[in-house]
Amino acid sequence: MVQADWSPDGQQVAFVRLSTVKDNTDGLLLTLPLSGGSERLVATFPGEFIGNPRWSPDGSRITVHTSTGSTGAAPSLVV
């Protein structure tokens, strides 16, 4: 399941990805311009699962829910 959210101006999409290397899983928050181009890494959450990216109404921030797997999800704010 892909979890993504359109930016308020409709120019970008924010999405999450898990990156697993050996036994370490990191949550990645990325954006992709809809006009073309490469994805951009916005933030890395070492050892955490992330989901539900949401843009702020003015498009200046993105929130995600984070979890280490042993605790419930908590919101995190990314600039």
Half-sphere exposure of 16 (CA within 13 A, CB side): 23
pLDDT at 77 over 80: no
Asked whether residue 73 carries a pLDDT value surpassing 70, the answer given is no
Give the structural domain span for 48. 4-78
Whole-model pTM? Answer: 0.81
User: What's the pLDDT at 12?
Assistant: 97
* DSSP assignment letter at 79: -
Q: Is it the case that residue 72 has pLDDT exceeding 90?
A: no
The total of structural domains in the chain comes to: 1
**Torsional sign, CA 17, 1, 66, 69:** negative
For 7-58, write each residue's pLDDT tens digit.
999 999 999 998 888 878 888 999 999 999 999 999 999 888 888 999 999 9
